Amino acid sequence: MKRIKFRHIVLQPPSRLADFAPAAHYLLLGLFLLSSIAVALRLYRPGWISADAVWPDGLLVLSAVATTLAALARRLPAQNVVAVAVLIGVMFGGAQYLGARYDIPFGPFTYADAPVRSQNALPWIIPLVWLSILLNARGVARLVLRPWRQTRNYGFWQIGLSTLLVVLMDLGLQPFASKVNSYWTWKPTLLASTWYGAPWVNFLGRGVITLLILAFVTPFLINKRPGKHSIDFHPLLVWTVVNFLFLTSAATHGQTPATAVILAQTLIIAALALAGSRRHTNSPPAST
């Protein structure tokens, strides 16, 4: 008589947001693209959307953060996504608060007509701006460096390139936020040379803070689950769309140096990311 073995099926609660994230991800991505169109229309056709309206920018930031975290949740455990969001938000928010109060480490500035008005304090939306910028910069850096992901110093190169991409994004953000929309105002410093009002120490401080934050959050961003994962182009899409909006703003307001810098860095980074994603596609992807 044959012995029949029964397999016990144990149902476990999902350990990742990835079980719920796909539909939410595409919905939030659509909202991000729609809000990008609203910002572009405000720049191109001020009569359609008031030039003083701040809701398109606020919606753009919220949708960018939401779709970025949803995309991240497709490959990382829920607790990692939450930890990353909290750490980046708190650390960047703390740095921005110190900057507004004590002029360190970005130079002297004050908030003015941001989506939430605040004088010498921290508008709630500012940490979300840098949360989105940093995570998408890191995602783009992963694409660029994909051919070298098995090298010994890959992690250090990834942190360095992510930091550089954050600084490059800030070069496009400053003319858009401080000159066009007056979300914050830079005060004069001892050095006469600035980038549309922003002192060069701002970009140095931004790079240093980004390096420190990445040192803390990178362990939470490592996917420890084995297996082959598809290439994630979501960060490149968000990165390109936001840079396109900065480019549109600079071009429509006659900011020629900013237009040239934003256009050049967007094309170069996009080309490098696409080239990197196509090389060694049969190799197992990086866990980071």
Q: What pLDDT is attached to residue 116?
A: 44
Sheet strands (E) in 147-274: 184-186, 194-195, 198-199
The residue range of the domain holding 238 is 78-222+232-278
In a domain, 14, yes or no: no
Q: What pLDDT is attached to residue 75?
A: 84
In a domain, 174, yes or no: yes
3-state secondary structure of 272: helix
Q: What is the pLDDT along the chain (288 residues), one digit of tens a residue?
A: 444 443 443 334 444 444 565 777 789 999 999 999 999 888 877 766 766 667 889 999 999 999 999 999 888 898 999 999 999 999 999 999 998 888 899 999 988 754 444 455 678 899 999 999 999 999 999 999 999 988 989 999 999 999 999 999 999 999 999 999 889 999 988 888 999 999 999 999 999 999 999 999 999 998 776 556 678 899 999 999 999 999 999 999 999 999 999 999 999 999 999 999 887 544 444 445
In a domain, 5, yes or no: no
In a domain, 250, yes or no: yes
Which sign, positive or negative, has the C-alpha torsion 189, 193, 198, 203? negative
Are 183 and 177 a contacting pair, CB within 8 Å?
Answer: yes
**Torsion angle, alpha carbons of 224, 237, 97, 59, to 10:** -120
Of 44, 37, 42, 26, residue with least CA distance to 60: 37
Please state the domain count of the chain. 1
203 beta partners: none
Q: List the structure tokens of 21.
A: 């994230």
d(CA 186, CA 227): 48
d(CA 60, CA 178): 17
d(CA 266, CA 261): 8
- C-alpha angle 190-196-158 in degrees, rounded to nearest 5: 95
In a domain, 197, yes or no: yes
Q: List the structure tokens of 194.
A: 């600035």
d(CA 174, CA 167): 11
Are 165 and 201 a contacting pair, CB within 8 Å?
Answer: no
12 beta partners: none
d(CA 85, CA 65): 9
In a domain, 13, yes or no: no
Q: What pLDDT is attached to residue 275?
A: 94
List phi, psi (to 5°) of 233.
-95, 0
The DSSP call for residue 47 is: T
Type and span of the H or E element at 173? helix 154-174
In a domain, 32, yes or no: no
Q: First and final CA of the chain: distance in angstroms? A: 52
